Amino acid sequence: MIKGALFDLDGVIADTSVYHFQAWRDLVAKHFNATLPDDLEAKTKGVSRGDSLRVILDYLGETVDQVTFEALADEKNTAYIKLLDDLRPANILPGITDFIANLKAQNIKLALASASLNGPYILEKLALSDAFDAVANPAEVTSGKPAPDIFIAAAQALNLEPQDCIGVEDAIAGVTAINASGAFSVAVGDASDLSHAKLHFPSTAELNLATIQKAFEVAR
């Protein structure tokens, strides 16, 4: 039986990834007088702020010292939080509210396993803080996604083994991290990018707990 559900945030609970990339674009335009192509967003999705900045600097062919690196990351985060100011429960992605309610009805514990340091703030804006039993702190794990650390930490925060949990993701790096942790990976989004997931749904609106439970039991 499934005992825990480990959730990514951006693109799974709410589509905040668009705000991330808008903040990066504004930063790059200001400091490097450059633009970022749409297809670069996928490489910054689901990974830490620092890793995202490394991807962007690599694309730009730029190098900066550590002090500048940290200043750029902090400036981006400030801009991102400002963009989130109007975030409301109405911004929760389709199907997620019902899916969470179904998990809670089955006494399945919930933990957030997001690379975002702003996870607690976003849950609060979405009025979902009380729905989650734990929030893994990405600042306390050794390696970010695609390493499994954040999902292992999320399971541990629930006093569970990853093997007793499902992980829900929309990013390539995130699904890889779930698989490496030993949890059962459930992906939402573009199937061509997420074919390594154990189970796939085209969108959050189609998440179905009964289907997941059946696939989880077969896999175990």
Is position 129 annotated in a ligand binding site? no
Q: What is the mean pLDDT of the chain?
A: 94
Question: Could you tell me the domains of the chain?
Answer: 4-15+88-219 (3.40.50.1000), 17-86 (1.10.150.240)
Q: Is 187 assigned to a binding site?
A: no
Answer for the pair 20, 44: CB distance below 8 angstroms, yes or no: yes
Helix (H) or strand (E) holding 219: helix 209-219
65 tagged catalytic: no
Query: In the structure encoding, which two tokens stand for residue 49, read together?
Result: 């702020």
Question: Is 10 among the catalytic positions?
Answer: yes
Annotation-wise, does 10 bind a ligand?
yes
Q: How much is the pLDDT for 168?
A: 98
Q: By the 8 A CB rule, do 145 and 113 touch?
A: no
Mean local confidence (pLDDT), 161-165: 98
Question: DSSP state, 135?
Answer: E
CB 84 within 8 A of CB 122: yes
pLDDT for the residue numbered 126? 96
Give the model confidence (pLDDT) of 9-47 as tens digits: 988 999 887 788 999 999 999 999 999 999 998 888 777
Contact 9, 77 (CB under 8 A): no
Q: Enter the tokens of residue 193.
A: 């990018």
Kindly indicate the confidence band of residue 191, based on its pLDDT and cuts at 50, 70 and 90.
confident
DSSP state of 189: S
pLDDT for 18:
78
What is d(CA 196, CA 215) in angstroms, rounded to the nearest whole number? 15
Report the distance separating Cα 151 and Cα 145, nearest Å: 9
Q: Is 76 annotated as a binding residue?
A: yes
What confidence tens digit (pLDDT) does each residue in 61-100 have? 999 999 999 999 999 999 999 988 889 999 999 999 999 9
Considering the candidates 8, 51, 149, 164, report the single residue annotated as catalytic: 8
C-alpha neighbours within 13 Å on the C-beta side of residue 38: 0
**Res 192: pLDDT:** 75
Angle at 120 between CA 118 and CA 122, to 5 degrees: 65
Q: What angle do CA 164, 89, 114 make, to 5 degrees?
A: 40
208 is in an annotated binding site: no
